[in-house]
Structure 1
């Protein structure tokens, strides 16, 4: 595992796009990505945002073979750069007509964030033809060592992801079906 730098942006965004481009079920990503227009272009804008924000407010780790990546947020401070990134995301991915729906979703998520200081495991991906080969598990285990003794939090939407995280030491502390897809809230201590 290696810590990503800004020079790894294209590589990480490509991994994220490959992992999610054909996932068309109701989930957090599809909830945010505007339905009309070029799906790949909108998805890429979301993944670029998530990479850039993780570089600003957290860490990104790549697997040694560059087939997986994991994004963490470990601080949440106001900055004009962050505001600019969010504005670009609104235009390139979410769309003005989708904005209020996404803001309601964000409010719902924040209601279930831990009250104490936590690290947000924001997103994890392995390229599709390598999924199930242990790359994600290894990347998760190695990256969690970087946050030893910290509360790690994640929300996920699929039963498969829920099972993956519970098999790797996370526990579910809440679940909700308030959106058009399930949300599972998990923590790792």
Structure 2
């Protein structure tokens, strides 16, 4: 029983933004960025929509055929251009101007992102809460990892929960030193070398 995966387009934006919001509302990092539950309920969808727009513009989004799971990927070249210094500040201004954590999370993850080797970067992966545990996330990730292995490309991500970290370890990612958010949870940078076939 395979999972059908297709490339998402602009016509999928509304459904995928809602999916990302639902999947990450209670994520430890989302709760840290938006500690007040009511504010998070109102503002978190804007952040997820901004992330989705960026990846639809600069990367690619894979989605299961039924729309219950999606993965946001960026292809990072070896000679990656310098990070947009203003990007995190612009994101904060667009999403939640009074919330410095919106900007801080972008700056901190940019600081730990590996440089010097081309790789595929899994920015976010979301599975509808009622469909979690069915292997949809694994299928989406393996869809890209198979290509990474063929093309001898590593892959990178930051795990935002211990549950997701375990999944990624099962898929061959190794854990780096944690990023401890100020007065908040940890994130784990994870790297996967391509398998030699």
Pick the TM interval, shorter chain: 0.7 to 0.9
Of 176, 186, 197, which aligns to 1:182?
186
Residue aligning to 2:21: 17
Native 8 Å contact 2:156 2:191 kept in 1: yes
Native 8 Å contact 1:19 1:128 kept in 2: yes
Residue aligning to 2:28: 26
Residue aligning to 1:56: 57
Q: Secondary structure at the match of 1:136?
A: helix
Q: Report how far residue 40 of structure 1 moved.
A: 2.8
Residue aligning to 2:174: 171
Residue aligning to 2:12: 8
Q: Report how far residue 77 of structure 1 moved.
A: 6.1
Native 8 Å contact 1:67 1:130 kept in 2: yes
How many positions carry a matched residue from both structures? 180
Q: Report how far residue 32 of structure 1 moved.
A: 3.3
- Equivalences for 1:108-119 in 2 at 5 Å? 108-116=108-116, 117-119=118-120
Q: Could you say what the CA RMSD is over the residues aligned between the two structures, in angstroms?
A: 2.7
Q: Does 1:43 align with 2:47?
A: no
| Moved >4 Å (runs of 4+) | 75-78
Distance in 2 separating the partners of 1:32 and 1:94 = 10
The 3 A distance-change label for structure 1 pair 45 and 77 is: farther
Normalised TM-score (structure 2): 0.78
Q: Secondary structure at the match of 2:95?
A: helix
Native 8 Å contact 1:33 1:46 kept in 2: no
The 3 A distance-change label for structure 1 pair 54 and 157 is: same
Native 8 Å contact 2:31 2:40 kept in 1: no
Distance in 1 separating the partners of 2:123 and 2:34 = 16
